[in-house]
Structure formats: structure tokens, C-alpha cells
Amino acid sequence: MYGMDLQELEQVTRLDEWIAEGGVVVLSGAGLSTDSGIPDYRGPSGSARRGTPMTYQTFTSDPVARTRYWARSHLGWRTIGTARPNDGHAAVARWQRLGLLSGLITQNVDGLHQAAGARDVVELHGNLARIVCLDCGELTARTELERRLTEANPDFSAVAASINPDGDVELDDAELAGFTVVACRSCDGVLKPDVVYFGETVPADRVSSAFSLVEAARTLLVLGSSLTVMSGRRFVLRAVREGIRVAIVNRGVTRGEPYADLVVDAPLGVVLPNLATAPVRHGYRLEI
């Protein structure tokens, strides 16, 4: 069991009280999914030091880069597509069932919140389980695309060395030779995961919905995000501006610490399942 000192226990107890009060908006990042086998970007299992991520401009303008992406993503889906929610996801879904959450925003694209039973998730960066045609806009299931890619590449036997949170993997270019990319079945257009690439902007309606949730919250609770990029940190800044308290549970350094009322540096899979349980909400001692 993860050991905490007295100060850490006091922080967790305080956080437990805030969650039990309700009106919590959760903002989750890649660190929440590490216990499901998906590495984060900048934490202990981080992949930020690896290759440069695909940008929207490169994906749409360079057929070779697009083929490289799909070959790597095809391998990465074997991990993303079979990942299962962990105890942290289950805890968040339970808080929602108890009526303690007023909103759930995620920067993740793995769909694990929904798989754990959460509803009405604002997926800032989309979801890898959906595929969009850039020409006609048709949305299709990733499972269908994976079946088509497998049929089009029966001899593709490359093995991924590592995987990133966006489903891309590290793979030597020599192993990409001959990989065939499939097109949209409706219009023969270019297919892309329905996620926000680097160089794209998050759809305005998602951002607006997220800001509205934050502004109506009693507590903004950040789970598993270093808040290094403005995509997530802007919601912390908005909460501070609106006088809404901010709590962060994350392993390692977070750029949100100067703005937070409470920071817990501890494993999410240990801390979160012990928060807002029935015994705690009725005055029993929190033990972690």
C-alpha cells in the first residue's frame, strides 16, 4: 500500500470533503490512464521524449507521412482498443452516479471514462474509436477500419517498440514498406481518426461547453494532467479567475500548482477509489 505522511493524509482528507460536497467538475489527462497500460506524455511513464507527433498539416499534405501514421496507429490500436478502465476511471464514474459531479472533461482520446460507465463526457480532443472522412464528413467506427486495414495488409507483421497516449507507436520505417492505406467507402476520401491533431484547434463548441461547466463548479478537480499545454491549463486559469477552488491529483510536476488550492502527488489508482465512499461521507476515518 502506498504510504503517506501526515500532511498528505490531511490533503487527501480535505479533498475527500470537497468531493463529498458535490459540484465537482473533473478535468482528466493522460496520467489517469497509465494504470490501463497507456503511457502518459510527461509523467514517470511519459513518451514526450519520443518522436515528434503527427501534425494535421503533415497528415493532410503528405501521403507518405499519412501511410506512416496509419501503419503505426494500426499497431497502436491493439493496445488502445483492448485497454480497460482502471480503478481511477471507476471512481470518477461512481462519483457521477452519486451525483457529486456536475461535469466531466477529458483530454484523453481513449474512451475509458465511458467504458467505466461515465456519461456526458466532454472529449476535448476527440476519440480514437471514431473515424472521420475529411472529404464527406462521414463518421464510422474504428473497428470497421481496423478490419479493412487488416484485410488490405495480410502480411503486415511489424511489432511496436512503444506506444504513445494518442495511439501512435514507435516503428522503424523499414517495417512500413508496402503498407496499404484504405479510403472512405462512401466517397473515396481521406480518413482520419476523429481526434484533434497538433496544429488543429479544439472545436469551439467543446471549449465553450467545458468553460460553462467550470464556471458553474464548486471545485475543479484535475486528475492526471501535468497541465503543460494551454489546452488544459486554460480551464484552471478560468476557475481561478472565477474564484472556484482548484484541486490536482497527479504524479510528478504540474504547471497548475501555482494556481491550485490543493495538490496531491500520489498514485491516482490508490487515492481516487478511497475518495467519497459511503463510510467516509458519513464521518469514518480515511485510511490509505
Q: What is the mean pLDDT of residues 112-136?
A: 98
**pLDDT bracket for residue 198 (50, 70, 90):** confident
Q: How far apart are CA 165 and CA 145, in angstroms?
A: 20
Check pLDDT > 60 for residue 254.
Answer: yes
The residue from 74, 89, 113, 125 that is catalytic is 125
Q: How far apart are CA 244 and CA 217, in angstroms?
A: 7
Q: From 3.30.40.10, 3.40.605.10, 3.40.50.1220, 3.40.50.2020, which CATH number describes the 6-281 domain?
A: 3.40.50.1220
Q: Which residue has the cell 461521507?
A: 281
Mean pLDDT (the chain) is 89
- What confidence score (pLDDT) does residue 45 get? 45
Q: How far apart are CA 227 and CA 233, in angstroms?
A: 5
**pLDDT bracket for residue 2 (50, 70, 90):** low
Q: What is the mean pLDDT of residues 11-27?
A: 96
Are 194 and 139 within 8 A, CB to CB? yes
Consult the annotation and say whether 107 binds a ligand: no
Q: Give residue-wise pLDDT tens across range 144-167.
A: 999 999 999 999 887 766 677 677
Q: Give residue-wise pLDDT tens across range 20-48.
A: 999 999 999 999 999 999 987 644 444 44
Consult the annotation and say whether 175 binds a ligand: no
What are the extents of the domains in the chain? 6-281
Catalytic annotation on 89?
no
Global pTM reads: 0.89
Q: Give residue-wise pLDDT tens across range 62-94.
A: 999 999 999 999 998 988 999 999 999 999 999
**pLDDT bracket for residue 7 (50, 70, 90):** confident
Consult the annotation and say whether 184 binds a ligand: yes
Query: In 128-164, which positions are buried (b, 16+ CB within 10 angstroms) versus exposed (e)?
Result: bbbbbbeeeeeebebeebbebbeeebeebebebeebb
Query: Helical H runs in the chain?
Result: 6-21, 56-61, 63-80, 87-97, 112-115, 142-152, 204-215, 230-241, 268-271, 278-281
The torsion region of residue 22 among left (phi > 0), alpha (psi -120 to 50) and beta comes to: left
